[in-house]
Structure 1
Amino acid sequence: MPCGGNSSEVCGAGNYLSVYSNGTVITYSPAVVQTTGLPGSWTYEGCYTEPGNGVHAFKYQIINTNNNSAHNCLSLCSEYGYPVGGMEYGDECYCGDAVDLTNANSTKQPDADCSMSCSGDPRYLCGAGNLLSIYTWTGTPLYTWHTPQGTAAGQYSLLIGGVVVPLITAQTITGKVTFLEKHGTGAPNSTGAYELTVSEVNNFTAAWRTMNGLKTDVFCSAGLTLPDKVGRQINVGGWSLSSTFGVRLYWPGGPTNDWQENVNELTLQNGRWYPSAMIMTDGAILVVGGESGSNGPPVPTLEILPYNGNPVVYLDFLNRTDPWNLYPFLAVLPSGGIFIAYYNEARILDENTFATTKTLPNIPGAVNNFLAGRTYPLEGTAVLMPQYAPYSAPLTVLICGGSTPYAGVALDNCVSTQPEAASPEWTIERMPSERVMPCISTLPDGTYLILNGALEGVAGFGLASTPNLNALLYDPTQPVGSRISIMASTIVARLYHSEAILLQDGRVMVSGSDPEDNINPEEYRVEVFTPPYLLSGLPQPNYTITNKDWAYGATISITITAGSTANLRVSLLGAESSTHGNSMGQRILFPAVSCAGSTCTITAPPNAHVCPPGWFQLFVLDGPTPSHSNYVRIGGDPSSLGNWPPYPDFDLPGV
């Protein structure tokens, strides 16, 4: 057919496309529905209508300018777990579920109505204006979400009415739980710190203890349990001015039995708001990242406590990715080095020089936005998968949820990788719903409870909406794509500043929520989630232990006083501090154990790379059912933190 503007040129015809290559016209005759060369097991379903007026049937739109094809589009959809894909108007790709078409009242039209050629492969058709060429996945299901019922879904319940909206919670080695709050902001009961005695929850007055030792504001700080012999808690960083330099210590049940702080004696080298902290293999404290306070400039450095003249180390990648990299995820790796994940990137640092030794592929984000991130304020959550004796398997990192910059589209996937692998890659697993500001609590049986957060938005006051009320259980022993169960739901919105930590009885304590969105209240109520293993009716095993201070590679005896030893397992869970989706110190190991009669012998982890020095909850499992835990210390106090800081107004336990 002659071109309307130049009758000497050829411009195709109905369903015929004229393509020019080096001045030569090639006519594809005619363009067809693409049914060959598709990725995986996709099947063409037909031409379907869009709602129109700028409204689309599917949430996820990708504009593949001059590069759209069924192959390109459907590859993305299946990679992110979406079993329905569609192409529209040549350049547009959409991913979602069959229910999306139903909800949009889409109707099937004659195939010939979807007559626009794909911009990336003009031999094939990619819909038309407000018309979608639809394909569905017909192979092995991309995911299977389990839906246990009754007690198998776990249960939320009220633990106790609260006295404060906590920003960070941590269980002490005595079993009591510390709550730290944004001090001095005028909120009701804003004293800065409380301690909850879980065994007294039926006596409100006896359960809560006010603590008065804080001198500066802990708003958005970092926390850890130290490997000293009394398990002191440390809190670093804070809101603004001198608070950002704050270093605060608490000895549970110690001489003062309160937080101790003196900013004229003990401070960070760099002031930090939203930093992360980690115990290194030598027992020293690594503090990483943050901003200079109150939405100030980035602090793209790391430093070590105790300060022994060691300078701060500049990290260019944190400067480059500000402000999306706060509360980075940190972990000691068994093969050596430190894993760090921030924004949508990850790398391994040398544990001595902190130079980058390996840069991992970028972390996948949303199917339609690779800039989606995982750390505050985009805020997902991360854990380490179980480590099993003899600890020869590579360590796996799991990161769930997050959001996109600016648009605040929450992510509906988890990603995992093995940083120590020769060529690490990220595996994507779709979640049943979107989740930003989630928490993950590691359970003693090696599964993970994913809870809290919102269906859209980013972290911050009033910046997220629509609470995600159900919990998920992630089981890494199951095949990829079949690891998630949809568990019980709560009636309590847990949005910005919510936490989750594992208690010694195997339940998960859930607290906090400070949304300031004029819809959901500041949340004082403290809940617990009871996992199915405590609702099965099976009795919890029990044990006694004498040696609670373990050397690496040592053998330790315990006596089983209730439960069978036939299939006995033991697990070790690192003491954790929960804030902003980051459970600092969280780690789980399954050491070797053997039993003779009621006496069982545990072999402690072999070294500080497999198991950094610190305090761990020791659980015994009879089948799926865990005991109450005891706290044990592994690896001692190699940096002599028990003698630090050397000031008379700090209680020191010694080494």
Structure 2
Amino acid sequence: MTFSTTLLYHHLLILVILLLHAPPCPAAGGSWSVLLPSIGISAMHMQLLPNDRVVMYDRTDFGISNISLPNGKCRPNSTDCSAHSVEYDVGSNTIRPLMVLTNVWCSSGTLMRDGSLVQTGGWADGYRRVRTYKSCDTCDWAEIPDGLNQQRWYATNHLLPDGRQIIIGGRQAFNYEFYPKMSAAENSPSFPFLVQTNDANVENNLYPFVFLYPDGNLFVFANNRAILFNYAKNQVVKTYPTMPGGQPRNYPSTGSAVLLPMRLNKGNVNVIEVLVCGGAPKGAFVNANNGRFDGALDTCGRIKISDVNPQWVMETMPLARVMGDMLLLPNGHVLIINGASAGVAGWELGRNPVLSPVTYRPDNQMGSRFEVQNPSTKPRVYHSTAGLLRDGRVLIGGSNPHDKYVFTNTLYPTELSLEAFSPSYLDASSSTLRPTIISPKTKTTIRYGKRVAIRFMISGPVDLNSVSVTMVSPSFNTHSFSMNQRLLVLDSGNSTKALGKSNYQVVVTAPPSGNFAPTGNYLLYVVHKEIPSPGIWIRIQ
């Protein structure tokens, strides 16, 4: 080999190495802002309320938090007079401490039809507790001892069409129950699927992914498998194929999942799909506990659960991720945010934070669905949270991989700050294309199956064929899963029309029943060229 040939070979080798290590695609946009440097606690659990306040909490046995309870209060039988729950007011960007009495660590919850948060389970003295929070300037948590039949720790909740919530699973709880109870004698039916998906000593089926299917059954995904489940009859209606590769996707190999946007057409949804992304490979939990941190999974599985013969279609994310959150944005895109690229969920078991969010456009062709977004500077690893706000921003909080508050001499300090991620649709350059809803007014009640006229303004040029209306449920977020999350694209029947300068109207049909959208509070958006308006609160019944 001549010198020149050798030189060329080395140049080509360097080029190949650079290409292999180059980012998969350039950052597409989005911006970050710190809302509050500290809220006093690490936001392990998060729920947006229909008054634009957000309830957050961590656990009562972390130690003394950085925010005191008001008026010299202390928890009963405790020397801890600090708060472990707070309410964040989005409009005023302020925090109010709340008192939670029993341990809410790794608990679950759902926003009920009346706008109150019903939260269930936790650790130790919180195992069987039900806690309710109805927001007002002076309101606080109320607790119901023995409100649950079973101990619930790492369970998943979902609002049902009848207004109750179902609580599924939890550590060593291979059953489900409902709240509120129909009677004192109501039991907890066994759920063999949770036994079948339980890995000895690892589990990998905690916080199962649960979505209400429009026929009233539940899609339940645990570990690497899924079923369609009739909870009323305690029967498996359909068993779906195991996700290719068989890798675990639930806690502690924590991936995330969404029910993709459901497009209503003449009172029905023709295609219903679920997307499951990220996680950690088999053996990663044991390895991490022995100091070896396996790379996170970089795959997503997408399945049309409405098909007669549904099959998983696998896709590759540009960034591998464990402990990432998946959120439905008002324009129907999916945001994948937070998490790490190695290890698993658990105390000190994650490594290499993934700072860049990724958006997923489900309607694009395969190969052009993922876009890497601009990065944060704050690692958000174990016990971080994310939630959609009415204005289209995404609230980000939490991150505490320690069993207490630790701020120094550690890889990933306890994070008390709140950030907001603003997707690129909030860029100033899009302001003339952004709709503003004029009517109906916020807090309007709409009824199933009825037509609703929505008036809106857009200051710039309008493409009437690029207007849609979406309805998003406010979800309960913890441990990389947003419970009760769903987005519906309402049927507008090509009704968008101009009413005058910058004024427009679109008429949509509300969902036909509680199977599509359980009674309660939702965020309604008008979307123009993938740019959503600020949302308004509506109540459907």
Scaled to the shorter chain, the TM-score interval is 0.7 to 0.9
- Structure 1 residues 100 and 411, CA gap change in structure 2 (3 angstroms): farther
Question: Structure 1 stretch 621-630 or stretch 457-466: which is displaced more?
Answer: 621-630
Tell me which residue corresponds to 1:285. 165
Whether 1:611 aligns to 2:485 is no
Checking the alignment, whether the CA contact within 8 Å between 2:212 and 2:218 is kept in structure 1 is: yes
Deviation at 1:317, TM superposition (A): 2.2
Inter-partner Cα distance in structure 2 for 1:450 and 1:187: 32
1:465-509 CA-to-partner distances (Å, cap 9, x unmatched) read: 111111101000111232101111111110000111111111111
Whether 1:236 aligns to 2:120 is yes
Inter-partner Cα distance in structure 1 for 2:477 and 2:117: 13
Tell me which residue corresponds to 1:259. 141
Checking the alignment, whether the CA contact within 8 Å between 1:347 and 1:358 is kept in structure 2 is: yes
Q: Which amino acid aligns with 2:26?
A: T
Of 475, 479, 495, the match for 1:580 = 479
- Structure 1 residues 100 and 623, CA gap change in structure 2 (3 angstroms): closer
TM-score w.r.t. length of structure 2: 0.83
Inter-partner Cα distance in structure 2 for 1:271 and 1:208: 31
Of 616, 624, 629, the match for 2:535 = 629
Q: Which amino acid aligns with 2:34?
A: L
Tell me which residue corresponds to 1:302. 176
1:581-614 CA-to-partner distances (Å, cap 9, x unmatched) read: 1101111111023344234322101122222333
Tell me which residue corresponds to 2:6. none
Of 50, 54, 72, the match for 1:177 = 54
1:312-335 CA-to-partner distances (Å, cap 9, x unmatched) read: 111122123332110001111123
Tell me which residue corresponds to 1:557. 453
Tell me which residue corresponds to 2:248. 373
Whether 1:442 aligns to 2:328 is yes
Of 24, 27, 35, the match for 1:159 = 35
Checking the alignment, whether the CA contact within 8 Å between 1:331 and 1:338 is kept in structure 2 is: yes
Inter-partner Cα distance in structure 2 for 1:301 and 1:612: 23
Inter-partner Cα distance in structure 2 for 1:473 and 1:466: 20
Of 491, 498, 504, the match for 1:592 = 491
1:366-388 CA-to-partner distances (Å, cap 9, x unmatched) read: xxxx3x21111111011111111
Checking the alignment, whether the CA contact within 8 Å between 2:388 and 2:474 is kept in structure 1 is: no
Counterparts of 1:240-251 in structure 2, within 5 Å, are 240=124, 242-251=125-134
Q: Which amino acid aligns with 1:147?
A: P
Q: Which amino acid aligns with 1:629?
A: G
Checking the alignment, whether the CA contact within 8 Å between 1:568 and 1:622 is kept in structure 2 is: yes
- Structure 1 residues 145 and 483, CA gap change in structure 2 (3 angstroms): farther
Inter-partner Cα distance in structure 2 for 1:227 and 1:363: 34
Tell me which residue corresponds to 2:96. 209
Whether 1:358 aligns to 2:264 is no
Match of 2:419, SS?
strand
1:421-450 CA-to-partner distances (Å, cap 9, x unmatched) read: 111111110012221000012111100110
Counterparts of 1:13-32 in structure 2, within 5 Å, are none
Inter-partner Cα distance in structure 2 for 1:278 and 1:447: 22
TM-score w.r.t. length of structure 1: 0.69
Tell me which residue corresponds to 2:194. 318
Inter-partner Cα distance in structure 2 for 1:161 and 1:437: 23
Checking the alignment, whether the CA contact within 8 Å between 1:193 and 1:211 is kept in structure 2 is: yes
Deviation at 1:168, TM superposition (A): 0.4
Match of 1:273, SS?
coil
Inter-partner Cα distance in structure 2 for 1:319 and 1:537: 52
Q: Which amino acid aligns with 1:589?
A: L
Inter-partner Cα distance in structure 1 for 2:279 and 2:116: 32
Q: Which amino acid aligns with 1:444?
A: P
Deviation at 1:562, TM superposition (A): 4.3
Tell me which residue corresponds to 1:458. 344
Tell me which residue corresponds to 1:270. 150
Max Rg structure: 1
Checking the alignment, whether the CA contact within 8 Å between 2:65 and 2:84 is kept in structure 1 is: no
Query: Which runs of 5 or more structure 1 residues have no equivalent in the other structure?
Result: 1-97, 104-143, 202-206, 292-297, 636-655
Checking the alignment, whether the CA contact within 8 Å between 1:215 and 1:262 is kept in structure 2 is: no
Question: Structure 1 stretch 272-281 or stretch 176-185: which is displaced more?
Answer: 176-185
Inter-partner Cα distance in structure 2 for 1:257 and 1:101: 56
Task: Report which structure shows greater RCO (CA 8 Å, sep ≥6).
Answer: 2
